[in-house]
């Protein structure tokens, strides 16, 4: 029986990184198999090879999968490290297991971000075809017009094309500010901020309330929690 497996899938299963990140490591020549630089698409038999990443041996082991919800504060990067020494989400979740954020949340956006060592789930949830719904609470200066609201719902022209239809609900509105909830099903970079800019909406704050079925609820800013078994089952879908 063929015991081989693609090297990126195997390393992702060990929690080294997501498959996409591992492919980048392979392209950079940072992974070797039996002393030779591994290539994209290589298949291996884990029981018969020695794998090294940056000259450090990778030992096959059974690693517990971890799934975490974090309420990201303002001015925290949703990356694993920063060359300028700025605070990242991993500075707030100090665990011995190497974790990776599932997707990103802007530096100036607060709210829910998920972290895990499950590379396969990360790849699945960040793939454009998955269309994972994300719910945000936006606050803008002044009132929103019926036309602006209609365009938020039906689609706004960005460089990548017209955005997919969104669910939008006004939460509160007075002469000074408007608060609305918006649900997106695509992952264009800084999408809500760019939509607001096109529509001349002055965005004051943006907070993510939910990622798919996982909700922020009352989790304090800067704090994190483990997902429940039910939530893990739901997010794996």
For residue 13, being part of any structural domain is answered with yes
Predicted confidence (pLDDT) per residue in 9-22, tens digit: 889 878 788 889 99
- pTM, entire model: 0.74
Catalytic option among 23, 54, 55, 106:
106
Check if the beta carbon of residue 140 is closer than 8 Å to that of residue 204: yes
CATH number at 180 reads 3.30.70.1560
pLDDT at 60: 65
For residue 62, being part of any structural domain is answered with no
Residue 64 tokens read as 């517990």
Range of 151's domain? Answer: 133-211
Considering the chain, what is the average pLDDT of its residues?
A: 91
- Residue 205, CB-side half-sphere exposure with 13 Å CA sphere: 13
**3-class secondary-structure state, position 38:** coil
Predicted confidence (pLDDT) per residue in 78-94, tens digit: 988 888 989 999 999 98
Residues pairing with 110 in the sheet: 207
Total domains, the chain: 3
Handedness of CA 24, 28, 33, 39 (dihedral sign): positive
For residue 139, being part of any structural domain is answered with yes
Q: Are 137 and 203 part of one and the same domain?
A: yes
pLDDT at 1: 43
Q: Does residue 174 carry a catalytic annotation?
A: no
For residue 141, being part of any structural domain is answered with yes
Check if the beta carbon of residue 113 is closer than 8 Å to that of residue 78: yes
Q: Are 151 and 120 part of one and the same domain?
A: no
Check if the beta carbon of residue 147 is closer than 8 Å to that of residue 180: no
Q: Are 115 and 93 part of one and the same domain?
A: yes
Question: What sections of 39-164 are H helices per DSSP?
Answer: 89-92, 119-126, 146-154
The pLDDT of residue 96 is above 80: no
Kind and range of the H or E run holding 233:
helix 229-236
Q: Are 15 and 118 part of one and the same domain?
A: no
Q: Are 100 and 200 part of one and the same domain?
A: no
The pLDDT of residue 2 is above 70: no
């Amino acid at each position: 029986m063929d015991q081989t497996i693609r090297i990126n899938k195997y390393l992702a299963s060990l929690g080294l990184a997501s498959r996409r990140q591992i492919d980048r490591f392979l392209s950079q020549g940072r992974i070797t198999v039996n002393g030779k630089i591994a290539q994209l698409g290589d298949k291996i038999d884990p029981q018969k090879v020695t794998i090294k990443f940056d000259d450090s041996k990778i030992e096959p082991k059974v690693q517990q999968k971890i799934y975490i919800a974090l309420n990201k504060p303002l001015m925290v990067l949703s990356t694993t490290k920063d060359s300028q020494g700025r605070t990242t989400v991993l500075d707030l979740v100090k665990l011995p297991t190497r974790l990776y954020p599932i997707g990103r949340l802007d530096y100036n956006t607060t709210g829910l971000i998920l972290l895990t060592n499950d590379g396969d789930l990360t790849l699945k949830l960040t793939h454009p075809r998955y269309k994972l719904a994300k719910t945000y609470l936006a606050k803008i200066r002044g009132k929103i017009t019926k036309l602006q609201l209609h365009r938020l719902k039906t689609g706004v022209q960005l460089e990548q094309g017209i955005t997919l239809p969104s669910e939008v609900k006004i939460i509160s509105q007075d002469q000074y500010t408007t608060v609305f909830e918006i649900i997106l099903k695509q992952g264009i970079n800084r999408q809500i901020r760019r939509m607001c800019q096109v529509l001349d909406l002055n965005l004051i704050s943006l907070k993510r309330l939910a990622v798919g079925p996982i909700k922020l609820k009352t989790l304090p800013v800067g704090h994190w929690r483990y997902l429940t078994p039910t939530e893990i089952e739901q997010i794996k879908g």
